[in-house]
Amino acid sequence: MTGDCNEKNRGCDLLVVSPHRDDAAFSVGLTIRRWLACGWPVKIINCYTISEYAPHRSELNRAAVSDLRRAEDLAFAQHLGDGIEFVDLNLLDAPLRLCCPVDEVCNRALAPDRVRVEIELLGDHLRRIVNRGVLLIPLSVGNHVDHIIARQTCIRLADLCSLAFYEDLPYSALAGPEGVAEARLATETLLGRSLQSIVIASGDASVKKMEVVKLYPSQVTESEVEQIKGYTAYTGGERIWLDETSSHSFQTALGSRAGNDADKRIGN
């Protein structure tokens, strides 16, 4: 292992908060690959893992869907060489927890009291796991309620770790630059700090991304696969939003000191 970015309990461990099982792979599969290649540990915290959502396997019940989605995650870990540790929180996903139709999860406004309960529940779990490193969490593009709750909960953990934000896929492909900018501004307001972006770039980013996305056939249609591919080609990789502290940890971990200017690229 090379490099050392330990300071004030902020090591180079990467912890990815994945509201659902596919979010880490779809949104930051290439970043995880890069982190592992640099010799640092990666832990994926899957939050709302109990689910009936498998639009392309509608004949399956809840237990079978949850098992199938776990198997897809394990295939992803194997694809990257088995260096990933998963922690599954076994919480109900939004349609089950909030008793709402799947097509309402991206415009589901919760009462403030309910938001507090949701944040406390997820925060209790995360505080048992997170105590150092970089916590890579959703920017919440697309406003899926589970992603919003995850972001708000994780921002409260800023005293324990460095925070970095990923662009949720396929939502970012659907929302476009305006939707991404809206989510970034909302995140900066919650955080009280401005964010700069870097791109984890690769010449064959779209190809590598397709290899990962296709490991989750219960979750995506061919058109969604194409949307993710198009968005990856547009960014040239995966765009991550960082503040000053997380920018230092991130770039030190990846062996690059590109600075804090907007949209710096870290390539192969």
R_g (Cα) of the chain, nearest Å: 17
Q: Of 12-20, 191-199, 205-213, 236-244, which part binds Zn ion (CB under 5 A)? A: 12-20
Residue 69 makes contact with Zn ion by CB under 5 A = no
Q: What is the C-alpha separation between 122 and 135, in angstroms, rounded? A: 15
User: Residue 20, interface with Zn ion (CB under 5 A)?
Assistant: yes
Name the minimum Å distance from CB 44 to Zn ion.
13
Nearer residue to Zn ion within complex by CB, 143 or 245: 143
Q: Among 11, 19, 179, 237, which residue sits at the site for Zn ion (rule: CB under 5 A)?
A: 19
- Closer to Zn ion by Cβ: residue 40 or 216: 216
Collapsed DSSP state (helix, strand, coil) of residue 202: coil
Calpha distance 142→130 (Å, rounded)? 26
Rounded CA gap, 98 and 55, in Å?
19
Give the whole-angstrom CA distance, residue 96 versus residue 49: 11
* Strand 162-166 to 196-201 pairing: unpaired
With CB under 5 A as the rule, give the number of residues binding Zn ion.
Answer: 3
Residue whose beta carbon is closest to Zn ion: 20
3-state secondary structure of 41: coil
Q: Least distance (Å) from Zn ion to the CB of residue 26?
A: 8
Considering the complex, state which of residue 11 and residue 19 has its C-beta at the smaller distance from Zn ion.
Answer: 19
Site residues (CB under 5 A) for Zn ion, limited to 176-235: none
Residue 23 makes contact with Zn ion by CB under 5 A: yes
How far are the Cα atoms of 54, 237, 247, 259, 267 from residue 264, in angstroms, in the given order?
37, 12, 11, 8, 10
Select from 11-19, 124-132, 221-229, 258-266 the region that touches Zn ion (CB under 5 A): 11-19
Nearer to Zn ion, 102 or 207 (CB): 102
- Applying CB under 5 A, which residues contact Zn ion? 19-20, 23
